[in-house]
Amino acid sequence: MSAPHLFVLAVDQRPWLTQALWGHTGTATPDQRAAATRAKHVVLDGLLAAVDGGVPREAAGLLVDDELGPGVAERARAAGVTVSMPLERAGLDVYEDAPADVAAYLAHHAPDLAKVLVRYNPDGDADANALQRRRLAATARAAHDASSRFLFELLVPPTPQQRESAGWVEEIRPGLTLRAMEEIVADVPVDVWKLESLGPQQAYADAVALAAAHDATCLLLGAGAPAARVDDWLTRAARSGFAGFAVGRSIWWDAVRGLLAGETDHPAAVATVAARYRHFVDVFRDASLRDEPLTATGRSSA
């Protein structure tokens, strides 16, 4: 039996958001924090509008932090939405917990999914990779002790040599992603993988099989890509057995930027978020129901 769908609207960006809006990655000023909080509540409003418009509530999820989004997770939980919250110190090459007392944080917030973002290349620094696995094993234990599932967002950055290679995204990174999953799961109990696009159709299927061997499922991340590109990735993922997606900026960035610049109002921003989120849900659900073969690009041959 396939896993239930989970469609996560990801709005846990912190340094990325302050850099995009105000040109820095430091601590937000009070006014900036208030603006970011307003934006993240608008994103939740868009998600809830999409649920009211037909997205199954049991499949809807929100990934949000409490640093720039205080109160958002609590509202989402009260609305019956699956809640995920981040545990990583953002922007680092080698994983560190944030906050330092993960157990207390999880006890307080009790997210359904405790999420980590990890940069891990199996051809990278072996000592750094081993250190990350040790740290993440402890974090996963803390998540499970708190009755949260462990959501692992895996980014595979290229080594300097790989960065110069043609076909990095479609040909090289997918194999490295699968190798990274194998190395990580040997030490870290992962419940849900959040993965980058995997190129060939077979790589998506291989990721699903690898995850399933350890009772885990896979979600696709959006990487801030244009909608047409995300549509293509979602089609491949859905047809290969992914459980859903965790997409953020591709859904809400235009609405948030326009709102905070005074170019659009709250109802219009909410409507934009709702429409783009529901679009990706529809693309995924439609693809998962179709049974004609895909070409090498991931498009239907019909």
Beta strands in the chain (DSSP E): 6-11, 60-64, 82-86, 113-119, 149-155, 192-195, 217-221, 244-247
Give the least confident one: 2-11, 119-128, 132-141, 286-295.
286-295
Cis, bond preceding 99 (omega within 30 deg of 0): yes
pLDDT tens-digit map of 147-166: 999 999 999 999 999 998 88
pLDDT tens-digit map of 172-199: 999 999 999 999 999 999 999 999 999 9
pTM of the model: 0.94
List, in order, residues 6 or more apart from 196 with CB less than 8 Å away.
Answer: 154, 155, 156, 173, 177, 221, 223
The mean of the pLDDT values for the chain is 94
| Cβ atoms of 199 and 171 closer than 8 Å | yes
- 298 confidence band (pLDDT: 50, 70, 90): very low
Q: What percent of the chain has pLDDT over 90?
A: 92
Which tokens hold the place of 294?
Answer: 């895909």
Domains with residue ranges and CATH for the chain: 6-289 (3.20.20.70)
Determine the pLDDT at residue 134: 98
Average pLDDT in the 228-245 region? 98
Closest CA to 121 of 77, 166, 181: 181
pLDDT tens-digit map of 108-141: 999 999 999 999 999 999 999 999 999 999 999 9
Average pLDDT in the 19-36 region? 96
- 51 confidence band (pLDDT: 50, 70, 90): very high
| Per-position b or e across 67-101, b if 16+ CB within 10 A of its CB | bbbeebbebbbebebbbbbbbbbbeeeebebbeee
* Residue indicated by tokens 């995009």: 20
Determine the pLDDT at residue 291: 54
